[in-house]
Amino acid sequence: MESFDEGFELKEIQTLEGHSDRVWSLAWNPATGHSGIPLVFASCSGDKTVRIWEQNISSGLWNCKAVLEETHTRTVRSCAWSPSGKLLATASFDATTAIWENVGGDFECVSTLEGHENEVKSVSWNASGSLLATCGRDKSVWIWEVQPGNEFECVSVLQGHTQDVKMVQWHPTMDILFSSSYDNNVKVWADEGDSDDWQCVQTIGESNNGHTSTVWALSFNASGDKMVTCSDDLTLKVWETDNIGMQSGNGVPPWRHLCTLTGYHDRTIFSVHWSREGIIASGAADDAIRLFVENNERMVGGPMYKLLLKKEKAHDMDVNSVQWSPGDKRLLASASDDGTIKVWELATL
Amino acid sequence: MTLGLINANPVVHAKKERVARTEDPHADDAVDPLDIYDFVRDIRDPEHPYSLEQLSVLSEESITVDDKLGRILITFTPTIQHCSMATVIGLCLRVKLKHFFPPHYKVDIKVSPGSHADEESVNKQLNDKERVAAALENPNLRQLVDECLYSNEL
């Protein structure tokens, strides 16, 4: 890995307007940005719509290619592309999760997943695209199996959190699910037996160096042996596990607290995302974006991660989501309460 | 018949006189606590035909402003320790302030220390913007909030 030192700036490429309410979340299509396919991402908003943005290869700027509306009747809180980039899942406060398929440039709602009692807050696909997870205010986490013909069958309803579940996220290579909650905990779920029996295999809470308030988001590094979480307690925490690919069927190895990044953001941290090359981006209610990298010249007892840069006033209001793009360029997109999305390039000075 | 009311007999105080303001309110962008107080004092209590000021749920002292950082903190005092309407009062304050201030102001709303049996959980809920957004999309809650904000039955 390249070592990162001073001499970087977050350069604003474009501000995208179109949503008429706060933008809660965004997701890059993982199948774009290479082999000549222009970069695409989706954004979702309190205006009940989802917008699809595509980069124009010659200008390098993004245009809104589609507005997905008149399906969700309340806030669309989160969205996620399947690994193939063919399907988009959107989770809404209207208690449903919609599945959209790109048919010749038009997005059609091909399935609606019902079951949660009320607000659905997050949705995530597993690495192979065979499973989908959703979570919400009813404190439960649902696992859905993708069937032929865009059918989705619920295979498990996981209870365990004592408050609303803010985010679900699958591990990048293994079928292990992570959920974070208003109850301050992160839970790890796995299907350890032969039966389709998903269970909580670990709870990461205050008693094991976990967060002391709502955990809003989590993200993995590229190899999947580290995880970062962010919280209303104003900290980011990095966790590690034994090399997850090497396990020999002895169950899911536990996650251990590696370090806590504190004293940076001074309001709730809503979003965190780890880039393929190891840069952690965080977005918060202090309107700022911060980037952290591993500290290579670490003195004994010194911090394991250091601030690479901060972008104060990245938006006029809270930053709700930060996401690194696929592809070769170091592009970061951010979504805000100010109703805009910004695309940034991490450039050398 | 007062059955069902959480606090059947609240103490009602007199409204304070409005301070006549001579200077042009748009003279500068600075926000002062009295401006905010004037703006929220007449919100009606969710249970009673009295304003938050009349029930001493709010006072001038309950509002602090850090203009440099753009922060507003409002603490309010529910009339009783087990007030289940505390979150509705908090929602009313948040909605009302949203229409008044430049959007970059950060608003924190809390119950005053020791004034509520579930102080910590009420405060956490009032400041979780996702829960606030969801609550305001709930038609019943929204109606309750709107009645408190726009009712003339004081």
Q: Are A257 and A237 in contact (CB under 8 A)?
A: yes
Question: Is there a contact between A317 and B103 if contact means CB atoms under 8 Å apart?
Answer: yes
CA distance B104 to chain A (A): 6
Provide the 10 A C-beta neighbour count for residue B15. Answer: 13
The pLDDT tens digits of the residues spanning A40-78 come to: 999 999 999 999 999 999 999 999 999 999 999 999 999
Of residues A258, A265, A260, A262, the one with CA closest to residue A311:
A265
CA distance A305 to chain B (A): 27
* Residue of chain B whose Cα is closest to the Cα of A21: B133
* pLDDT of A88 over the 90 cut: yes
Question: Is there a contact between B106 and A75 if contact means CB atoms under 8 Å apart?
Answer: no
Strands B106-111 and B71-76: parallel
B137 neighbourhood in chain A, CB within 8 Å: 74-75, 93
Q: How confident is chain B (154 residues) per 10-residue block, as mean pLDDT?
A: 66 74 57 87 90 91 89 93 89 89 87 94 96 96 93 62
CA distance A285 to chain B (A): 9
Identify which of B103, B124, B133 has the shortest CB distance to residue A46.
B133
CA distance B27 to chain A (A): 23
Domains located in chain B, CATH noted: 33-150 (3.30.300.130)
Question: Is there a contact between B130 and A338 if contact means CB atoms under 8 Å apart?
Answer: no
Question: Is there a contact between A338 and B103 if contact means CB atoms under 8 Å apart?
Answer: yes
**What is d(CA A292, CA A306) in angstroms, rounded to the nearest whole number?**
5
The pLDDT tens digits of the residues spanning A109-145 come to: 999 999 999 999 999 999 999 999 999 999 999 999 9
Q: What is the pTM of this model?
A: 0.93
Of residues B125, B88, B85, the one with CA closest to residue B4:
B85
Reported ipTM: the value is: 0.93
Residues of A with CB under 8 A from a CB of B: 22, 46, 74-75, 77, 93, 118-119, 121, 137, 164, 166, 182, 213-214, 232, 267, 285, 287, 316-318, 337-338
What fold characterizes domain A8-348? Answer: Methylamine Dehydrogenase; Chain H (2.130.10)
Of residues A126, A125, A99, A128, the one with CA closest to residue A114:
A99
